[in-house]
Chains A and B, each alone.
Chain A
Amino acid sequence: MTNLVLVSAPPHPDATLQRTAAQADERVLRLVREERPHFEIDGSTLRAYGSYLGLELWSAENAFGSQCLMAVERSKNLFSEAGCAPPPADLFIDVSSWGDAFDGHPGEGIIRFFLRGATVDAYIYFLPGAD
């Protein structure tokens, strides 16, 4: 097993979100419990990274020793995307402008959020030719 980077991400993220001191409110805790119960996320480990294009980014640890990354669409009261990965796997999630209840993409495409310790990098990918 290797801990080398699997994803050859672009050299510069479109945004880097710093960890904040925000505490998880009841809505986020409820989403963790109800939207992805099988992840078995420990709510006491939730950490916030602020918002980007309408998505709140949170990370947490789960019962299986993995880190999890979640993109919360608060106005719709749901996770647009969430994923967990045990070390040494890279942990990233793709939020698409199709199928993930996400309207904040500046065009059509995906945003790849990449957890990098105390920050989350965001990379925007556009679908060519889309309006």
Chain B
Amino acid sequence: MERRPPPSDAERELNELRARAYGPDPDIGSDPAALARLVELEAAHVADRAPRPRREFRAPPAADASQTAPPVTADPAAHQVVPPGVSMDEAPTVTSSINSWRSLWRRATVTRSRRISFIAAIVVGALLGYAVTEVLGPHPDETLHPTATAAKDRVIQLMAAIGVDGDLSTLRGFERYRDVEPWSVVDAEGRRCLMALDLGRTTGPPSPEGWPRGILNAQCVPPGTELFVDLGVWPAFNDAYTEGLPDGTIIRFRLREDAVHVFLYPAPEAD
């Protein structure tokens, strides 16, 4: 009976990472470094086990591929749809691409181990994409940059009124979004705070331009915690920032290193 050599460090690491990715309680999606390492090890593993090619693979010329492609009727994507005015001679690129993918699939799944590696690579790729998305976050609807503002004294007053003992050297204002001006500060305890100030230019008593009327909402969190402030659109209130938005909408402000990201979540339209 053939004895298998003991697993190398890389194999042990790969097995551990695979368990985290495909095991009963996968958690690798929240660990981009581990995911990246798994991708690296999977790639090396596949490369080690794959037979060395005897010659360089070259895709056949497009025209040849269109002539040799087997007819596939089950896959509607394989049918060439030629726009009006375009001859069939101008369309073989689509077939060539499909053939290349079929060839890649055949080569990648010709053995059981290759099938496992190929599917694992797809899963890892999907997890990696998810993790990157989770870490970087979806694209904000607006990005508000720091800005110089003359209303700092007023902001200090408002901040004190809600009990935030901010370190004034950390006080920063950001660009406006719909009559809302976000401000951030680090307080005396080290908490990071985000405040949504109401500029209220379209409703309510007039105020000097850029002179905030009050604080709509504020949140403080320990350092290292993602910091959000939500503003809702409620028919019971008549806040200027809600103008034109459906009731139940929320506007989510997220503090980043040098910007505030805004995410607008409109409420579904009522029937």
Q: Return the CB mask of A1-39 against B: 1 if under 8 Å, else 0.
A: 110111111111000000000000000000000000111
A46 touches B (CB below 8 Å): no
Q: Which 6 A-B pairs have the closest CB atoms?
A: A64-B248, A11-B30, A38-B236, A89-B265, A2-B138, A38-B234
- Give every chain B residue within 8 A of A5 (Cβ-Cβ): 133-134
- B190 and A85 contact, CB distance less than 8 A: no
Q: Tell me if B222 and A125 are in contact (CB < 8 A).
A: yes
Q: Which residue of chain A has its CB nearest to the CB of B137?
A: A6
Q: Is there an interface contact between B138 and A6, defined as CB atoms closer than 8 Å? A: yes
Residue pair B222, A66 in contact (C-beta under 8 Å):
no
Interface residues on A, range: 35 or more
| Chain B residues with a Cβ closer than 8 Å to the other chain, count | 43
Is A104 in the interface zone, CB < 8 Å from B?
A: no
Asked if A8 and B135 sit within 8 Å, CB to CB, the answer is yes
Instruction: Check B265–A10 contact: CB distance below 8 A.
Output: no
**For chain B, what secondary structure do more than half of its interface residues adopt (helix, strand, loop), or is it mixed?**
loop
Q: 27 A-B contacts, Cβ less than 8 Å apart?
A: A1-B265, A2-B139, A4-B133, A4-B138, A6-B138, A6-B252, A6-B254, A9-B30, A10-B30, A11-B27, A11-B29, A38-B232, A38-B235, A65-B248, A65-B270, A83-B230, A84-B248, A85-B250, A86-B265, A88-B265, A89-B263, A89-B265, A94-B228, A126-B222, A127-B189, A127-B191, A129-B190
A125 to B139, CA, bound (A): 26
Which of A6, A39, A66, A128 has the largest number of chain B CB atoms within 10 A? A6
A residues 79-131 near B (Cβ < 8 Å) are 83-89, 94, 96, 98-99, 108-110, 112, 125-130
Residue of B220, B232, B246 near A96 (CB, 8 A) is B220
- Whether A125 and B221, one on each chain, are in contact in the complex, defined by CB atoms closer than 8 angstroms, is yes
- Using CB atoms and an 8 Å cutoff, list the residues of chain B in contact with chain A: 27, 29-31, 133-135, 137-139, 163, 189-191, 219-226, 228, 230, 232, 234-237, 246-250, 252, 254, 263-268, 270
Contact yes or no, A85 B230, CB < 8 A: yes
CA distance A12 to B248 in the complex (A): 31
Question: Could you tell me the distance in whole angstroms from the C-beta of A37 to the nearest C-beta in chain B?
Answer: 7
Contact B226 A86 (CB under 8 A): no
User: Pick the contact of A84 from B135, B190, B232, B236 — CB < 8 Å?
Assistant: B232
Q: Is there an interface contact between A130 and B250, defined as CB atoms closer than 8 Å?
A: no
